[in-house]
Structure 1
């Protein structure tokens, strides 16, 4: 599913749009055979109702089209909490609802005042008061609107997770996870030779016997307690927890990645113990790794693993076969 939020105007822009529209609508209002006072009342009341309608419509669209956090699948709910913050997200939406309610009340109050005014200057004064109070309300929630605008930008980058068999690639930073994603699926993530190039979850797909498989590339994991991990790392944890049916754990035993083998093994052991899914260990960069070093790692690791060169596309078909075998497709 793909999460989306509507475009949100800044308070000053929304005020400007509403006031301009109100002036235009009032100017085009045709009122005949009534006294000057009645005509002024009708035009000023039209402005009040138009401003109220424009602002309420925009804010209500923000409320209605923003994902209901409590109704989202656990992965997306937790992702919003990690990247945006659920409590602040709900608080900001609550501020929008408060503003709509206040403006609705002010519209009724000042419309009545304008309709029952006995002097022209009183009509104009009430309409100006309404404009001032509405502007004040929007500026009171400016921080919340700006927060939601930033939340919208972040949420728009969330992955479009599909209901498919899912393989999640994990490992320390810079071990070649994004390169493996590209080799397995043909996806084109940004790849650089420094840690944390992947700052969010990336997706790719491959097919076998007309069935589609989803591969998830996660940000690199560091060897530290979950509660001490930053938002980038915690996205990886969420993918492992909620999406993975198989985890590919990628090692770089050349240590070019900048993380010693023992460090990578600690991360592997943590992943294997925390998540109740099959973990497939793979040694990457086999094209530049001495055979002796691979054998030494085999003894140290104490279990079977595959080798590959994601960059050179070597061993990729073996990985796919192993994935399909573990998923019962072969």
Structure 2
């Protein structure tokens, strides 16, 4: 059987909402402009398209509703009966049948009117037929409005149902109301079921999950059941009966031995015997709860007899016979208040489920196929001597040591235990010194003095300690530099004294070069252009360059001239001759006193140089999936070209839609009666 996902059903719109959706979609997604001058064939096709489009949309919507709701015959019997209990199977099928009938009627209406439109002789006749077709379709939808509303309510309720897997390892909890079922579920799972001291707090099925031996188990909490005839039980009780009847699980029947739930042990035993037919072929356990209020041994003779009868019925469901611990597997005691025996109940139920599953698999036909693949080799005895199982002495000693270590761990007090013993949180303050490694444990809590014998303790510090620290750091740096620079280490054991001495000289020279290089990197010596602040001794001058070139037998005049011309051009703006009124032959203005001034020339040269400047071109770096610079430049150009039309239309992006005519004439013109505002 298929496990159905109730949470994936699409929302069912009401009749009016569905009509609005479909007609609006027809108006938006079909042509809207038609004139009298069109050919009659074009007019027919125009209105036939609208009728067909509307029919197809109605068909798709209604088909989605019919197909997405589960068919009661095609899902697990547990789901089928649960839906029947909650929503009445007849009403459910009737609503889906009406939706299916409406789908067929709409298809028939569309087919009839398309046939009539083929013979329409004018624009007016075709339009009237289209209006009639859409009107009849909408009338059909409005008639099934109550069914759509009912299906929407069913869908919302089904989406809130818990996700129960009928094929999973399941523990089912049942019993009278207020006997501790929900409390037990909250203890063993992470489910948060509401627990109150009155009956029928749990009104539906609740699901939680727990783990045992690296396997996941499903725990289902059912509402309380009363001992009354089957036909008198309400919907809440029938949910529990449905789960008991159809889910393959281990059943925990909770028994309140204290009677604080409001029902005696005799009433609970009567309920057990009335529904014991639902426990067939299922592991059954009788769980005596609330033993903190009433011990099982302190019950009266009649109550003990009733409990023994229930235990005898539970023993019949035990798969493995002759087990000495059988009674402990079918009758267990616990208290959810003190949590005594809670884990034992969970573990016992999980073991019963595993045993039952193994038993079922051993009885199946597939087990023979599996056993044929195995071969167990049994060694033949070579003589008549017995060789019993022997555990080596070392293994026994190691096991004893491990047990001692475990005992010490159990005896060791934690910080939380110390906190509880010494006043609790806010009173106890943990000591940070108790883990100090000192020669004497008594020194751990000693207070370090600042003054001793009238002297400051800080005065006893070695004055040269900082210099020694720097010296040690320097030596450490040299050693690390030597280790980083050596790609490989040469073993000097097989070398002669001369070779060893040469190797030491090489290593010293290598370390010195590394240190010199690092010093140069930290200063400005490695830069191509030496700033003036670093050339304070005026070593890098043209005179020095001239002396060096002369020593090599070269003429230094041209080199010195080239250097000087570069320095001059770097410090001045570009000059040009100016021929204007009031200017001399050399481009200089003549003042009243006859002296030349190059102020105008300087201003013009600066402005011209600025006007000719260009913005720096952004360098294109290959990457982002492009193999080279040219390919990326081409991609950038194509990208700019593609958005040119969008930018020209002043759109924000590709999704920006420009509506040229906000009020088209064919939608907002024509005579309309009073109150007739529908444009469809």
TM-score normalised by structure 2 residue count? 0.45
Q: Secondary structure at the match of 1:205?
A: strand
Shift of 1:44: 2.8
| Counterpart residue number, 1:255 | 259
Whole-angstrom distance in 2 between the partners of 1:294 and 1:96: 63
1:234 correspondence with 2:260:
no
Shift of 1:242: 1.3
| Counterpart residue number, 1:327 | 353
1:167 correspondence with 2:167:
no
| Counterpart residue number, 2:70 | 67
Indicate how the Cα distance of structure 1 residues 135 and 328 shifts in structure 2: closer, same or farther if over 3 A, else same: closer
1:105 correspondence with 2:108:
yes
Summarize the alignment of residues 152-301 of structure 1 with structure 2, pairs less than 5 Å apart.
152-162=155-165, 163-276=167-280, 277-287=282-292, 289-291=293-295, 294-296=298-300, 297-298=303-304, 300-301=306-307
| Counterpart residue number, 2:150 | 147
| Counterpart residue number, 1:92 | 95
Whole-angstrom distance in 1 between the partners of 2:338 and 2:294: 16
Indicate how the Cα distance of structure 1 residues 37 and 143 shifts in structure 2: closer, same or farther if over 3 A, else same: same
| Counterpart residue number, 1:80 | 83
Contact 2:78/2:247 (<8 A) preserved = yes
Shift of 1:273: 4.1
Whole-angstrom distance in 2 between the partners of 1:102 and 1:300: 63
Contact 1:198/1:219 (<8 A) preserved = yes
Q: Secondary structure at the match of 1:83?
A: helix
Contact 1:22/1:46 (<8 A) preserved = no
Bigger-Rg structure (1/2): 2
Whole-angstrom distance in 2 between the partners of 1:219 and 1:81: 17
Q: Where does structure 2 lack aligned partners over 5 or more consecutive residues?
A: 312-326, 357-680
Whole-angstrom distance in 2 between the partners of 1:50 and 1:254: 70
Q: Secondary structure at the match of 1:105?
A: helix
Contact 1:96/1:141 (<8 A) preserved = yes
Whole-angstrom distance in 2 between the partners of 1:123 and 1:227: 60
Q: Secondary structure at the match of 1:178?
A: helix
Bigger CA drift: 178-187 or 150-159?
150-159
Whole-angstrom distance in 1 between the partners of 2:298 and 2:48: 81
Shift of 1:83: 1.1
TM-score normalised by structure 1 residue count? 0.90
Whole-angstrom distance in 2 between the partners of 1:34 and 1:119: 10
| Counterpart residue number, 1:309 | 335
Aligned length: 328
Whose helix proportion is higher, 1 or 2? 1
1:6 correspondence with 2:32:
no
Contact 1:18/1:50 (<8 A) preserved = no
Q: Where does structure 1 lack aligned partners over 5 or more consecutive residues?
A: none
Indicate how the Cα distance of structure 1 residues 270 and 137 shifts in structure 2: closer, same or farther if over 3 A, else same: same
Whole-angstrom distance in 1 between the partners of 2:201 and 2:42: 64
Contact 1:169/1:218 (<8 A) preserved = yes
Output the aligned Cα RMSD. 2.5
Q: Deviations over 1:291-317 (max 9, x none)?
A: 378533445522463222224433211
Shift of 1:252: 2.3
